[in-house]
Amino acid sequence: MQRHDITLLMLALAEGRPYSPVQIQKAMFLADDKIPEAFDSRYHFEPYDYGPFDRHVYIDIEDMQERGLTEIRISPRGWNLYEATREGQGRASALSGDLTAGQRVMLRRISRLVLSLSFSDLLSAIYKGYPHMRERSVFRD
């Protein structure tokens, strides 16, 4: 499965809740780490200001927005929020059959975890599990 397909699945798993930039980056980082065999093409995360980052996550979401699968809107605080559209939800549902049951469970767990943690708790958890991703961080917990 192409990486943008898994990103769409991740957005759809939020069930209408938008992902912040940090949340979608960390969700896709964890998916890439926990189920690499699901990806035909993978992201290449590097340590950045707030941990693992790959700009192609945003590029893929923007490309899917042009096809009507995702929506990007601006939060009251001025950053982007990412979510699957109704059409994207339908496409994600069809794509989910290409994953194993275990892969679907893992994506769901990652989505719930990332969306349930505060900004600082999410970064702290990532840095604890992946200390090398803290290398360039501006965040101090």
* Among candidate residues 29, 26, 30, 10, the one with its CA nearest the CA of residue 18: 10
* Among candidate residues 73, 74, 69, 72, the one with its CA nearest the CA of residue 86: 69
Q: How far is CA 28 from the centre of its chain?
A: 4
How many Å apart are CA 73 and CA 82, to the nearest integer?
7
Mean pLDDT for 112-135 is 96
Give the confidence band of 16 by pLDDT, cuts at 50, 70, 90: confident
Give the confidence band of 139 by pLDDT, cuts at 50, 70, 90: confident
Q: 75, 83 in Cβ contact below 8 A?
A: no
Q: What is the pLDDT of residues 43-83, one digit of tens each?
A: 999 999 999 999 999 999 999 999 999 999 999 999 999 99
Q: What is the pLDDT of residues 76-122, one digit of tens each?
A: 999 999 999 999 999 999 999 999 999 999 999 999 999 999 999 99
Domains of the chain, each with CATH number or no CATH: 3-134 (1.10.10)
How many Å apart are CA 137 and CA 134, to the nearest integer?
5
